[in-house]
């Protein structure tokens, strides 16, 4: 389940040329940023994070397991309010535009506040693709719209800088790598795709993944591929009749490359490949089986915003809690709900997932598996962050 991580070694190898910082006291004793590792960091080295996660999850109640597979969201930049929100035990939080304060120091304070338990920090995520989809201030690096036409090395440079920007803010997950591929400039996803053909997209997706994984857990989206399913999935459920054989030769190629490069998360789109499954991929056990068994993905499977299903207007997806339960049952490890949510939505979804287990409609083993993958990633990120820390007033390392 757990893959070797490059974060601890990789981030330190290039720290002198990026923006990671060390406190003046630490700088006096070493050119490399250091902190005192927490218990979680010490126990969760890459080789044993899964064993540690398994033990932690088995010690949780069903309600606690359900909370850890939910990534919540509320608007606002008040650290105290956000900390109070996270005290319910949610496994993660996604920062949207309304969560980003004016300065990086304020953002660091905000992400610190989201971490209720430093030994098991939540997954703190952002959509930082650059260009069209950009949340953070200061990301003036090339984005997909230009990178798709430039040498692959430019993608490496841009996403190295972007990963550093995300990581130094205290954000640990970037939903930032669009692995969809299309040559049609009239489609919804064209401006965000890293390539216009499978091979070129695969090269850039691989480069973006390798670059970001030095600093954060990167994510491939929107599996199994938005390019073949035209339409904006924020408002409809796009569909395609493309079969598996054609998919393997086209849409699958960039995702396979990103998985091979070590992407930590795979985001499932609200897209229906009707020849494979009439349900959206985000709710499809078949597509989860394909990603695990054919592509070898062993990281955290996360839904795209489940609020998008509500926005589709399809009455089959009118109940957000039912959507969350169905998503976990299908094979997702983490459910995400933004559009149409409020301060009570994530808690209601966690309660619904727990109730489904208690009622026997969601297998307890499936919830435990999902929670274990999420907790393992949280532990790995805690361990990877141990050698360095961000601060408001730092001396540059090196």
Report helix, strand or coil for 166: helix
Helix extents (H) in the chain: 7-13, 24-29, 39-43, 49-58, 62-68, 79-86, 104-114, 144-147, 152-168, 198-212, 244-249, 252-260, 285-289, 307-311, 320-330, 345-359, 364-385
Kindly report the backbone phi and psi dihedral angles of residue 75, in degrees, each rounded to the nearest multiple of 5, phi listed first.
Answer: -75, 160
- C-beta of residue 199 within 8 angstroms of C-beta of residue 181: no
- C-beta of residue 195 within 8 angstroms of C-beta of residue 148: yes
Quote the tokens at residue 133: 């989809």
Report helix, strand or coil for 98: helix
* Residues contacting residue 50 through CB under 8 Å, at least 6 positions apart: 1, 2, 372, 376
DSSP string of 251-319, one letter each residue? THHHHHHHHHTT-SEEEEPS-EETTT-SS-GGG-HHHHHIIIIIS---SEEEESPTHHHHHT--GGG--
Q: What is the largest CA-CA distance in the chain?
A: 62
Distance CA 338, CA 9 (A): 34
Q: What angle do CA 338, 261, 224 make, to 5 degrees?
A: 45
- C-beta of residue 211 within 8 angstroms of C-beta of residue 156: yes
Neighbours of 395 (CB within 10 A): 15
Report helix, strand or coil for 73: coil
Active site residues: 234, 304
Distance CA 376, CA 44 (A): 8
């Amino acid at each position: 389940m757990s893959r070797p991580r490059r974060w601890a070694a990789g981030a330190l190898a290039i720290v002198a040329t990026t923006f990671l910082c060390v406190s003046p006291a630490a700088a006096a004793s070493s050119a490399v940023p250091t902190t005192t590792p927490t218990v979680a960091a010490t126990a969760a080295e890459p080789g044993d994070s899964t064993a540690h996660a398994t033990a932690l999850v088995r010690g949780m109640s069903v309600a606690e397991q359900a909370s850890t597979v939910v990534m919540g969201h509320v608007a606002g930049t008040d650290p105290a309010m956000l900390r109070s929100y996270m005290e319910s035990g949610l496994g993660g939080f996604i920062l949207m535009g309304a969560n980003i304060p004016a300065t990086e120091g304020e953002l660091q304070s905000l992400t610190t506040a989201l971490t209720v338990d430093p030994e098991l920090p939540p997954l703190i995520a952002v959509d930082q693709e650059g260009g069209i989809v950009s949340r953070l201030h200061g990301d003036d690096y090339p984005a997909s719209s230009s990178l798709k036409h430039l040498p692959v090395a430019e993608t490496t440079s841009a996403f190295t800088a972007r990963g550093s920007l995300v990581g130094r803010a205290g954000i640990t997950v970037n939903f930032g790598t669009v692995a969809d591929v299309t040559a049609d400039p009239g489609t919804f996803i064209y401006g965000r795709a890293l390539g216009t053909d499978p091979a070129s997209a695969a090269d850039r997706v691989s480069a973006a993944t390798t670059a970001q994984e030095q600093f954060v857990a990167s994510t491939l989206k929107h599996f199994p591929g938005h390019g073949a399913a035209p339409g904006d999935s924020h408002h409809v459920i796009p569909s395609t009749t493309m079969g598996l054989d054609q998919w393997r030769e086209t849409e699958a190629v960039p995702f396979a490359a990103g998985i091979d490069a070590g992407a930590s998360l795979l985001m499932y789109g609200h897209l229906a490949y009707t020849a494979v499954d009439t349900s959206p991929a985000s709710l499809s056990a078949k597509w989860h089986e394909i990603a695990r068994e054919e592509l070898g993905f062993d990281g955290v499977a996360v839904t795209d915003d489940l609020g998008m299903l509500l926005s589709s207007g399809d009455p089959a997806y009118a109940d957000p809690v039912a959507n969350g339960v169905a998503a976990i049952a299908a094979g997702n490890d983490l459910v995400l709900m933004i559009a149409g949510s409020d301060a009570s939505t994530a808690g209601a979804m966690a309660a619904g997932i727990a109730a489904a287990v208690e009622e026997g409609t969601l297998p307890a083993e499936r919830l435990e598996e999902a929670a274990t993958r999420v907790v393992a990633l949280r532990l790995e990120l805690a361990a990877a962050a141990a050698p360095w820390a961000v601060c408001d007033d730092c001396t540059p390392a090196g």
